């Protein structure tokens, strides 16, 4: 059967030829591996994609390290835990305020996010061990701030020299009488920051969740998991929940506090936004406390409406559903108006998205609302289930790199476990097609024969831009300026380019405006990249 070109693209070659073009400069072994990570999509039966495997040395990947995933991503947005980086100063310094997670401490409340705490390891500690200096740092932080909790994050050298951060944390916990715990999240521990998410989930669950049983009087209590308040997204959602009459017990971890984690097990539902970074906590809370979880997406207006309705449906309460419908009805006219206005300039345009482990999927819905097509997308570090859906979980091969990450064994808590639904209630929900613990993944929602690229390399990004000339390229700061020098606007979906919020209804309107502006600016056509002006250095890959 002849290959059909990618949807709406007047691209002269097939998706397969496009893939071959991306990998043809690589040595054969590298090309074989990359070939498995570049897939022509079929939403009805997503083909297997190579994911969560090591990046080949020499390839310019956009991934981050395990320490970044643990310290920056999961614990970063929590304002009242003192996060001490145990390591050389660079690790603390470069993870200091570089992620745009915001927080809002109440009058007199603690906020340690603006501080950078580090043990500043020197040669002496590398040679003779750093535990003593770590204990001193914990003591010093305690004396200065008297926090509720102190967390210690291991960097690469700590793992290499074998400091026992957990023993030091235990010792200091006893001495100070506050919660002190540590993470074995050395940068090299996994193939990407994804390993750091898992390590963070384990320790937050083990050391904090379940410590405070104070009940809440409200009727509809949920936790929002995998929402990190980038650009103020969580503020938008907190307000939305409140207007709907839904009590947000804890968010993991946008705008969060230590006490909220400790009390999270009192909620009756876990709503999971970023499946990749937090599904472990959702699973563990289900097993230990009986809290079911559902997948939601508050990025895009349709996604927000759908997610609010899903939460209301879970509680099976007519008054709640009516309130949710009322809020949706209040918000939708402004959204429709903004989308219509933007579509005059955005409709028919194309986007590429290469972001993290959830946004490359979630933001496609916003582009659909703008009448734009996502022609190529991929995650930096997601796993097969984020691409192909959770149904593939049993078939994912556990390799040595994954085995390196602790799987904690969780059991039902005989005292605190409480089923949130009776068997009959579950049956009623099942009849309406209500899905628990389910995520269909990115590929099920992408066009047939669009291209999916895992852990995209710099070289492949350049090729794609040259060949497909997208109207907007969504990525991060590492790619941004190279892409823009090529004459294509780059929207940062990690930091939002200092814009946002983009979550919820009002967030969607913000996004429509920003994208409309970007794709209709003529300035991009005026750009002549420096490498087309001056002399060039040619690099060829060595054949193996
Ligand atoms: Fe989840 Fe994230 Fe993402 Fe992520 Fe991240 Fe981020 Fe991201 Mo940058 S937790 S996987 S590790 S949604 S920091 S808030 S934007 S890569 S797509």
Pocket residues: Cβ below 6 A from ligand 1: 69, 73, 99, 193, 226, 228, 230, 274, 276-277, 355-359, 494
> Nearest C-alpha to atom 5 of ligand 1 is from which residue?
356
- β pairing state of 81-86 and 117-118: parallel
* pLDDT above 50: residue 390: yes
Which residue's CA is the nearest one to ligand 1's atom 15?
494
3-class SS at 73? Answer: helix
3 state SS of 335: helix
Instruction: Please state the rounded mean pLDDT for residues 139-144.
Output: 98
Determine which residue's CA is closest to atom 17 belonging to ligand 1. 356
Distance from the first to the final alpha carbon of the chain: 34
Q: Which of 6-10, 178-182, 311-315, 470-474 has the lowest mean pLDDT?
A: 6-10
By alpha-carbon position, which residue is closest to atom 6 of ligand 1? 494
For residue 472, the CA-to-ligand 1 centroid distance in Å is 19
Instruction: Please tell me the residue having the least CA distance from ligand 1 atom 8.
Output: 494
Characterize the bridge pairing of strands 38-40 and 451-453. antiparallel
> pLDDT digit string (tens) for 254-283?
999 999 999 999 999 999 999 999 999 999
Cβ-proximal residues to 496 (8 Å cutoff; 6+ apart), any chain? 100, 230, 231, 502
Q: Is the alpha carbon torsion for 95, 98, 102, 106 positive or negative?
A: positive
Give residue-wise pLDDT tens across range 155-195. 999 999 999 999 999 999 999 999 999 999 999 999 999 99
Residue positions annotated with a catalytic role: 65, 68, 99, 197
At 459, which helix (H) or strand (E)?
A: helix 458-468
Pocket probe mutation, ligand 1, options 199, 230, 356, 479, max atoms within 8 Å of Cβ: 356
- Mutate which of 225, 274, 354 for ligand 1? The one with the most ligand atoms within 8 Å of its CB, which is 274
Instruction: Quote the ligand 1 centre to 247 CA distance (angstroms).
Output: 25
Which numbered atom of ligand 1 lies nearest the CA of 382?
10
Nearest CA to ligand 1 atom 9: 277
For all residues of the chain together, what is the average pLDDT?
Answer: 95
Q: Which atom of ligand 1 is nearest to the CA of 194?
A: 11
Distance CA(364)–CA(375), nearest Å, equals 10
Ligand 1 center to residue 40 CA distance, Å? 24
Say if CB 424 and CB 479 are below 8 A apart.
no
- Mean pLDDT over 319-333 rounds to 98
Helix 504-520 × helix 318-346 angle, to 10°: 10
Atom of ligand 1 nearest to the CA of 495: 15
- 357 Cα–ligand 1 center, Å: 6
Segment holding 82, helix H or strand E: strand 81-86
Q: Which residues of 147-186 are buried (b: 16+ CB within 10 A; e: fewer)?
A: bbbbbbbbbbbbbeeebebeebbeebbeebebbbbbbbbb
Distance CA 356, CA 64 (A): 9
Query: For the whole model, what pTM was predicted?
Result: 0.96
Atom of ligand 1 minimally distant from the CA of 101: 14
CA distance 55 to 408: 26
For the residues 439-451, what does the mean pLDDT come to?
A: 96
Residue nearest to atom 1 of ligand 1 (CA): 274
Question: From edge to edge, which strands make up the β-sheet containing 117-118?
Answer: 117-118, 81-86, 149-154, 179-183
Helix (H, G, I), strand (E, B) or coil at 29: helix
What pLDDT is recorded for position 529?
85
CA gap 350, 281 in Å, rounded: 36
Q: Which two tokens stand for residue 286?
A: 């289900």
> Which atom from ligand 1 is nearest to the alpha carbon of 228?
14
- Taking alpha carbons only, the member of 304, 366, 350, 360 closest to residue 492 is 360
Q: Ligand 1 centre from 466 Cα, in Å?
A: 27
356 CA → ligand 1 middle, Å? 5
Query: Looking at ligand 1, which atom is closest to the CA of residue 99?
Result: 13
DSSP of 421-458: S-HHHHHHHHHTT--SS----SGGGSPTT-EEESS--H
Structure confidence at residue 6 as a pLDDT band (50, 70, 90): very low
- Report pLDDT digits (tens) over 102-134: 999 999 999 999 999 999 999 999 999 999 999
pLDDT at 8 over 70: no
Q: How far is the CA of 69 from the centre of ligand 1 (A)?
A: 9
For residue 14, whether the previous peptide bond is cis, meaning omega lies within 30 degrees of 0, is: no
């Amino acid at each position: 059967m002849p290959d059909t070109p990618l949807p709406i693209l007047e691209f002269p070659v097939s998706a397969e030829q496009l893939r071959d073009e991306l990998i043809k400069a690589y040595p054969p072994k590298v090309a074989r591996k990359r070939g498995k990570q570049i897939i022509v999509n079929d939403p009805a039966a997503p083909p297997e994609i190579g994911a969560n495997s090591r990046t080949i040395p020499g390839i310019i990947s956009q991934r981050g390290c395990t320490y970044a995933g643990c310290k920056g991503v999961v614990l970063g947005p929590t304002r009242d835990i003192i996060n001490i980086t145990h390591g050389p100063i660079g690790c603390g310094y470069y993870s200091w305020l570089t992620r745009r997670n915001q927080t809002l401490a109440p009058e007199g409340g603690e906020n340690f996010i603006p501080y950078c705490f580090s043990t500043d390891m020197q040669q002496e500690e590398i040679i003779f061990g750093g535990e003593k200096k770590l204990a001193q740092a914990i003591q010093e932080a305690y004396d200065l701030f008297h926090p509720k909790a102190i967390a210690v994050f291991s960097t690469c050298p700590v793992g290499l020299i074998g400091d026992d951060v957990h023993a030091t944390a235990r010792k200091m916990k006893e001495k100070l009488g506050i919660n002190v715990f540590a993470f074995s999240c050395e940068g090299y521990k996994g193939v990407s920051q994804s390993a750091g998410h898992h390590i963070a989930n384990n320790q937050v669950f083990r050391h904090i969740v379940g410590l405070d049983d104070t009940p809440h009087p409200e009727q509809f209590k949920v936790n929002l998991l995998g929402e990190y308040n980038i650009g103020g997204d969580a503020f938008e959602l907190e307000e939305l929940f409140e207007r709907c009459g839904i009590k947000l017990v804890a968010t993991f971890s946008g705008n969060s506090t230590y006490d909220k984690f400790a009390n999270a097990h009192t909620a009756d539902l876990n709503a999971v936004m970023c499946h990749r970074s937090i599904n472990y906590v959702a699973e563990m809370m289900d097993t230990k406390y009986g809290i079911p979880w559902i997948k939601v997406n508050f990025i895009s207006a349709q996604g927000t409406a759908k997610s609010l309705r899903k939460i209301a449906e879970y509680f099976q309460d007519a008054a709640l559903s009516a309130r949710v419908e009322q809020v949706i009805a209040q918000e939708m006219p402004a959204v429709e108006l903004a989308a219509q206005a933007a579509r005059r300039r955005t409709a028919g345009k194309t986007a590429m998205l290469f972001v993290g482990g959830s946004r490359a999927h979630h933001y496609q819905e916003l582009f659909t609302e703008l009448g734009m097509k996502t022609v190529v997308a991929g995650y930096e570090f997601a796993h097969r289930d984020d691409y192909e859906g959770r149904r593939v979980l049993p078939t994912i091969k556990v390799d040595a790199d994954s085995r390196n990450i602790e799987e904690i064994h969780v059991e039902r808590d005989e005292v605190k476990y409480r089923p949130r639904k009776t068997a009959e209630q579950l049956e009623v929900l099942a009849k309406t097609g209500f899905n628990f613990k389910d995520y269909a993944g990115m590929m099920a929602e992408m066009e047939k024969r669009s291209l999916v690229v895992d852990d995209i390399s710099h070289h492949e990004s350049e090729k794609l831009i040259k060949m497909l000339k997208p109207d907007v390229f969504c990525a991060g700061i590492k790619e941004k300026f190279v892409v823009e020098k090529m004459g294509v606007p780059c929207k940062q979906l990690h930091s939002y380019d200092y814009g946002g919020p983009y979550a919820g209804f009002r967030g969607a309107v913000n996004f429509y405006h920003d994208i409309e502006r970007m794709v209709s600016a003529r300035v991009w056509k005026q750009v002549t990249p420096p490498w087309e002006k001056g002399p060039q250095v040619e690099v060829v890959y060595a054949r193996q």
